[in-house]
Amino acid sequence: MINPVFVPTGVLFAGALLEIVLGGVLSRAAKGWLAFLATAIALTAVLAMMPDVIHGQVLTATLFNWDAGISLTYHVDGLSILFMLIGTGMGSAILLYAVGYMAEEEEGTTRFYVLMLVFIGGLVILVCSANLLMAYFAWELIGLCSYFLVGFWYKREEAVDGARKVLIITHLAGYGLLAAIMLLYVRTGTFLWTDPAVGAAFSGAIILLMIVAAMAKSVMYPLHTWIPEAMNAPTPVSALLHSACYVKAGVFLIARMYSIGPWHGVFGNLLLLVGCLTMLVGSIFAIAQTDLKRLLAFSTVSQLGYIVTGLALGTNLGIAAGLFYAASHALFKGTLFMCAGAVQEATGTRDMRKLGGLSARMPVTSRVWLVAAAAIVGVPLTNGFVAKWLLFDAALEANQAVVVVVAWAVSIITTFYFFKATLSVFYGMPAHDLRVEEIHEVAPTMQIGLGITGALCVVFGFAPQLVMQPVIEPAVHALGFDWQVQVTWLGVLTGSGTIGVTVGAAAVVVVAALFGVGAYRLVRAPAGHPVSVFTGGDPLPEGDTLGAADFAEMAEAAFEPVYSLDPDPLYLLIWRGIKDAAAGVRRFATAGLERQPFLTAMVCAAALFAGVWLL
């Protein structure tokens, strides 16, 4: 009989295999439904495992002998369940959405669904594997899937350029994880992280190498620059990449490091610094965007900063905050991407300067967007509010006032750019060349997909305990921390630091709301009224209002020094250095060695003889 632990993996890979076998005969929609079904069954199987894990059990089993002496061994604990739920849950919603989204795609749908299923399956292997080598295998498997999925439209320049960047940055940083695993193996003789010997050898460079690998996957500054370039992928890919299967792999690794061995201390502080910097840089870059998906991409960078900061606090509350934030982010960011994809599908553009007034034409999408945007901003009654509340509380409890200030400031900036995006896309007057009469709501499956995740943002905001006790608490225990969170309905904390956190959170909400109102007035000043901008005496011409582009320019001017923190020029410099070195070696080889090959060979042979003789 099949061990239930392997059902999610088995179903996902069987689904991928079926897609390959039946790809030629199934319709595009049927392929989509098949992929959705496989993921939904995998989700059900994960849910079926939960009762045991809630009661503190760790489910272990060995699937098969992958290589001589190396088995695919699973160690399913609370953390594995949390990330499996994120992967298969968001995967199900996104694949349901993809049924409609991919219905018009003329070629490559089999490839698309196979890669999506393997992507989710890879995440399941990663989070369940007790064997570090197999975890690295899965780590790169999802990396490769994301590379192929980002480059899905491989005949388009911008898509393949984005894919290349994904491959280079994440794979190169992944060598950090590989080197760490090799060093651990040489020190301990085992690849099993569950072996206590691994914990004892877990120190110094190994930790740093793992952190670097995790930083690239979870888009931490300065290794985040691949994610905005990955936006030219089909929207379900962006949604899966950002919400569930890719950036969360880095978060998982950071969390799992707590299970492997003690590492916090100086590395925790380093990660705190990186997390805060990432929050800030991501949000400031997000303001300047005029492409809706790029804005969401930078907001992912910023939000991942929150998550990693929570985990880097290394306290009972901090871990709970980080993990709950990870789950919440999966929901609201997945929803936002699906909404952005719906807008692009309906209008043919994601350039916010060319959009506007879509709420009347796309009521479902616009309402769901509002809910998800409220959640990411941290408006009460959404899961985002609970996540931020927990994080502020954890930072206060850990005496990390700087973290609180940074997170608070970033919340305001987040509010600002989400107002900008919301107003530019869904409200105000439509842009001149937008054919409003031709725009209508997207396919029902797409609406259901984004509707489910949007609704869950509210459900888990009203009743966070639904996810706290059965999912987050076992995950926190799996990392060796105590459960210290007490929440009631509406996500109000009843535990430590109540007054401080309440006042702080309320202030954030009020300030953000005021800021948003101000932004609204600037973005869409009533038409026909003079805009209070000094122009030399006369008002701006009638109908000339401030829009997203103006805001982008304003932000660019205001945050000019921050934009110089873009690490891409540095990467380009490194690449040029490598190319120059290669060209230098080539010049030496062609002008020196290859011009007189036999003479060179004889000289080298003579030098070799001399060298050996001297040994």
Partner 1 sequence: MELIFIGFFAALACGIGLYAVSVPQDGRVWWWLAAAIVGLVIASKLIGDSGTGAIFLDLAELAAVALVWSHGTPEAAAAARKYLYSIIPAIACTLIAGSLVGTGAEVPGPALQKLVVCLLIVGFALKLGLIPFYFWLPAVASAAPAMTTALIVSVVDIATFGELAALREVSPWVFGEYAQVWMVIALLSMFGGALLALAQTELKRMLAFSTINDMGFLLLGLIIGGPAGFAGASLGALNHALSKVILFGAVGFAERQIGRTVTLDTSGLAARLPLAGAAFIVGALVFIGVPPGFGFVAYWRIYIAATQFGGPTLITALLVVAALDLLCYARAIHRTWLGPAQVPVTGAPAYLAPGVLACLAVMAVLLGCYPSILTGAAASGLLAMAQ
In the complex, the residues that contact partner 1 under the rule CB under 8 A are 64-69, 133, 136-137, 140-141, 144, 151, 154-157, 160-161, 163-164, 167-168, 171-172, 175, 178-179, 182-183, 185-186, 205, 575, 578-579, 581-583, 585-586, 589, 593-594, 597-598, 600-601, 604-605, 608-609, 611-613, 615
8/454 with CB nearer partner 1: 8
25/615 with CB nearer partner 1: 615
Least spacing, CB of residue 417 vs partner 1, in Å: 32
Q: Which residue type does 256 have?
A: R
Which two three-digit tokens encode residue 541?
């011409």
Backbone torsions φ then ψ of 309, nearest 5 degrees: -60, -45
533/583 with CB nearer partner 1: 583
63/552 with CB nearer partner 1: 63
**What's the CA gap between 87 and 76, in Å, rounded?**
15
**What's the CA gap between 30 and 23, in Å, rounded?**
9
Least spacing, CB of residue 360 vs partner 1, in Å: 38
DSSP secondary structure letters along 454-473: HHHHHHHHH-THHHIIIIIH
Q: Mapped to the 3 state alphabet, what secondary structure does 65-105 carry?
A: EEECCEEEEEEECHHHHHHHHHHHHHHHHHHHHHHHHHHHC
**What's the CA gap between 477 and 468, in Å, rounded?**
12
529/586 with CB nearer partner 1: 586
137/258 with CB nearer partner 1: 137
140/345 with CB nearer partner 1: 140
Q: What is the number of residues in the chain?
A: 615
558/603 with CB nearer partner 1: 603
Least spacing, CB of residue 154 vs partner 1, in Å: 5
C-alpha pair distances (Å), 265 with each of 68, 304, 591:
37, 21, 53
Do 299 and 283 meet the contact criterion of CB atoms below 8 Å apart? Answer: yes
Least spacing, CB of residue 137 vs partner 1, in Å: 4
Give the residues across from 487 on adjacent strands. 493
Least spacing, CB of residue 489 vs partner 1, in Å: 46
Helix (H, G, I), strand (E, B) or coil at 297: helix
Q: Which residue type does 512 have?
A: A
Helix (H, G, I), strand (E, B) or coil at 74: strand
**What's the CA gap between 444 and 452, in Å, rounded?**
12
511/593 with CB nearer partner 1: 593
C-alpha pair distances (Å), 583 with each of 456, 586, 589:
55, 5, 10
Q: List b or e across 235-270, with b for residues whose CB sees 16 or more CB atoms inside 10 angstroms.
A: bbbbbbbbbbbbbbbbbbbbbbbbebbebbeebbee
2/186 with CB nearer partner 1: 186
Interhelix angle 498-523/383-397, rounded to 10 degrees, is: 130
Least spacing, CB of residue 68 vs partner 1, in Å: 4
Least spacing, CB of residue 530 vs partner 1, in Å: 48
521/586 with CB nearer partner 1: 586
**What's the CA gap between 161 and 357, in Å, rounded?**
32
Least spacing, CB of residue 145 vs partner 1, in Å: 10
**What's the CA gap between 169 and 232, in Å, rounded?**
17
Least spacing, CB of residue 25 vs partner 1, in Å: 20
Given the structure tokens 């072996």, which residue do they identify?
195
Least spacing, CB of residue 135 vs partner 1, in Å: 11
CA-based max dimension of the chain? 93
Least spacing, CB of residue 26 vs partner 1, in Å: 20
Least spacing, CB of residue 11 vs partner 1, in Å: 17
Backbone torsions φ then ψ of 595, nearest 5 degrees: -70, -40
603 Cβ neighbours under 8 A, 6+ residues apart? none
Q: Which residue type does 596 have?
A: Q
Least spacing, CB of residue 442 vs partner 1, in Å: 28
Q: Which parts of 559-596 fold into alpha helices (H)?
A: 560-563, 568-588
Interhelix angle 401-426/548-558, rounded to 10 degrees, is: 150
Backbone torsions φ then ψ of 191, nearest 5 degrees: -100, -5
Least spacing, CB of residue 148 vs partner 1, in Å: 9
11/81 with CB nearer partner 1: 11
136/332 with CB nearer partner 1: 136
Which two three-digit tokens encode residue 60?
């272990």
Residue 443 DSSP class = -
57/600 with CB nearer partner 1: 600
